[in-house]
């Protein structure tokens, strides 16, 4: 294994006047370019652990390495400028414009005004905010979700190799949270930062994490592994309880629609004759045919009895296609859409809305089986690797 981006060695934090340490002898390696999620029950020490990394809380003992360098005694302000920091309350500076908020660290680092301006605009674009509209606003003139995006942009401003995020999407409504999570994962595909992400929500951990560390009391690691392994082979009862019921369902959060073979439903065009459509439908084993418009975008589901109504036009009958997902959606999203849909199938469309296939129950079942197999193989491989290397990760 190459040198980890962050290495914690026997980190302990005792707060004055408390008998138990908040973090006890924590050792852990965080590999470069991955999202490592710290998850665990409230009060187990996640936030304390995270703040030990950028030394907002100074450790009582132990060492911290960043990019192989011992930073336990380095100048904390210099250290923090190399580490992006996002907290749940965001903490935007209310007296400064969005531009100035994002420009904070670049200014400290002495960048030129032109460079800063270009960087701020670039970051606003990255997080999906139109620079010309938002750059000169003040934080109070943004919605909660927009503020959270600015918080992320601000943490990314000086392109730090490491980001610490403490429940960054915790105080946001579920729909916006879902969107922000997806956006953030998309951004991360490009920027490949090393990210330590704290949450107490196991579902968020599964969705966001390349690796998950499940922490117990005093930040003791109960299991630290890839999400699929944690879901299929929980290390002990504590992890099992923490994952909760429905581990198999949760595993669907790990699978993307684009990675699986899609279902094949009969399709037809709006301008085709009804007998042709009916013949296609009869030739399949499905209960409905999907009608596409001239550009190939799904319009309606038609069942045999819809097609037998001679009076109405094709664009008025049948069921409007509501359950749609994009290829990067998770199978869990697709399953959710599928259950909502009245024909038992979620339609997959590409970016421009063109039909790409369907996800139905067969697709989900096949995928679940494939994941089970992969997880078993994965676990076996990592056990072999460990026994041959003679060490425990």
Partner 1 sequence: MTPLEQLEGFPTYLANNWDTVLELAIAHAIVVGVSIVIAGVVGVGLGCLTYRNQPARDAVLRVTGLFLTIPSLALYALLITIPGMGFGAKPVIVALTMYALLPIVRNTVTGLLGVDPAIVESALGMGLSRGQRLFRIELPLAWPVVLTGVRVSTLIIIGIAALGAILNGPGLGELIFDGLGRFGTPFALPIALSGFLGVVALGIVFDVFFNVVTRLTTSRGVR
Ligand X SMILES: Nc1ncnc2c1ncn2[C@@H]1O[C@H](COP(=O)(O)OP(=O)(O)OP(=O)(O)O)[C@@H](O)[C@H]1O
- We find the least distance from the C-beta atom of residue 197 to partner 1, in angstroms, to be 15
- How far out from the chain centre does Cα 374 lie? 21
Considering only 36-44, 117-125, 235-243, 368-376, which stretch makes contact with ligand X by CB under 6 A?
Answer: 36-44
Site residues for ligand X, window 107-146 (CB under 6 A)?
A: none
Considering only residues 40, 45, 62, 139, which one is a binding residue for partner 1 as defined by CB under 8 A? 139
Question: Taking CB under 5 A as the rule, which mask of x and - marks residues 30-69 in contact with Mg ion?
Answer: -----------------x----------------------
Q: Count Cα atoms within 13 angstroms, Cβ side, for 81.
A: 13
Site residues for partner 1, window 158-187 (CB under 8 A)?
A: 164
Tell me the two tokens of residue 174. Answer: 């579920």
Question: Taking CB under 8 A as the rule, which mask of x and - marks residues 73-102 in contact with partner 1?
Answer: ---xxxxxx-x-x-x-xxxxxxxxx-----
- We find the least distance from the C-beta atom of residue 88 to Mg ion, in angstroms, to be 8
Question: Taking CB under 6 A as the rule, which mask of x and - marks residues 177-216 in contact with ligand X?
Answer: -----------------------x----------------
- We find the least distance from the C-beta atom of residue 111 to partner 1, in angstroms, to be 14
Q: Does 328 bind partner 1 (CB under 8 A)?
A: no
Q: What are phi and psi of 197, to 5 degrees?
A: -125, 120
For ligand X, the closer of residues 44 and 195 by Cβ is: 44
Q: Which residue is nearest to ligand X (CB)?
A: 47
Tell me the two tokens of residue 42. Answer: 């409230």
For partner 1, the closer of residues 95 and 305 by Cβ is: 95
Q: CA-CA distance, 182 to 68, in Å (whole number)?
A: 31
Question: Taking CB under 6 A as the rule, which mask of x and - marks residues 37-76 in contact with ligand X?
Answer: -----xxxxxxx----------------------------
- We find the least distance from the C-beta atom of residue 55 to ligand X, in angstroms, to be 14
Question: Taking CB under 8 A as the rule, which mask of x and - marks residues 192-221 in contact with partner 1?
Answer: ------------------------------
Please choose which of Mg ion, partner 1, ligand X, none residue 162 contacts, taking the beta carbon within 5 to 8 angstroms, the exact cut-off set by kind: none
Q: CA-CA distance, 30 to 44, in Å (whole number)?
A: 19
Site residues for ligand X, window 14-33 (CB under 6 A)?
A: 15, 18, 22
Q: CA-CA distance, 279 to 275, in Å (whole number)?
A: 6
Q: Count Cα atoms within 13 angstroms, Cβ side, for 27.
A: 6
Q: Which residues of 62-87 are buried (b: 16+ CB within 10 A; e: fewer)?
A: bebbbeeeebbeeeeeebbbbbbbbb
For Mg ion, the closer of residues 47 and 219 by Cβ is: 47
For ligand X, the closer of residues 15 and 93 by Cβ is: 15
Binding residues vs partner 1 (CB under 8 A):
54, 56, 76-81, 83, 85, 87, 89-97, 104-105, 108, 138-140, 151, 154, 164
Q: Which residues bind ligand X (CB under 6 A)?
A: 15, 18, 22, 42-48, 200
């Amino acid at each position: 294994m190459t040198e980890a981006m962050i290495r914690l060695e026997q980190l302990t934090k005792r707060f004055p006047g408390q008998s138990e340490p908040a973090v006890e002898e924590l050792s852990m390696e965080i590999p470069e370019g991955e999202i490592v999620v710290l998850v665990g029950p409230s009060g187990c020490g996640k936030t304390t652990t995270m703040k030990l990394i950028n030394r907002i809380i100074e450790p009582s003992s132990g060492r911290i390495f960043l990019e192989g360098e011992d930073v336990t005694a380095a100048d904390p302000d210099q250290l923090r400028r190399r580490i992006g920091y996002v907290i749940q309350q965001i903490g935007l500076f209310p007296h400064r414009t969005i531009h100035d908020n994002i420009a904070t660290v670049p200014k400290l680092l002495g960048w030129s005004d032109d460079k800063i301006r270009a960087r701020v605009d670039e970051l606003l674009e990255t997080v999906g905010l139109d620079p010309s509209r938002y750059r000169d606003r003040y934080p109070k003139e943004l919605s909660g979700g927009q503020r959270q995006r600015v918080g992320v942009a601000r943490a990314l401003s000086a392109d730090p190799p490491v980001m610490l995020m403490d429940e960054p999407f915790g105080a946001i409504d579920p729909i916006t949270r879902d969107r922000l999570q997806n956006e953030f994962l998309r951004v991360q595909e490009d920027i490949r930062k090393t990210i330590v992400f704290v949450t107490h929500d196991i579902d968020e951990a599964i969705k966001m994490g390349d690796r998950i560390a499940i922490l117990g009391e005093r930040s003791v690691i109960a299991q630290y592994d890839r999400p699929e392994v944690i879901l299929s082979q929980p290390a002990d009862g504590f992890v099992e309880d923490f994952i909760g019921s429905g581990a198999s369902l949760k595993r669907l959060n790990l699978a993307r629609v684009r990675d699986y073979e899609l279902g094949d439903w009969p399709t037809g065009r709006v301008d085709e004759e009804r007998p042709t459509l009916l013949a296609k439908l009869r030739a399949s084993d499905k209960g409905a045919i999907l009608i596409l418009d001239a550009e190939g975008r799904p319009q309606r589901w038609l069942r045999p009895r819809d097609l037998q109504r001679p009076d109405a036009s094709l664009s008025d009958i049948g069921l409007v296609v509501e359950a749609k997902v994009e290829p990067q959606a998770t199978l869990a999203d697709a399953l959710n859409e599928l259950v909502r849909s009245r024909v038992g199938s979620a339609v997959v469309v590409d970016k421009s809305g063109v039909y790409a296939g369907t996800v139905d129950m067969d697709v989900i079942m096949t995928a679940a089986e494939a994941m089970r197999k992969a997880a078993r193989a994965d676990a076996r491989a990592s056990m072999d690797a460990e026994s041959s290397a003679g060490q425990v990760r």
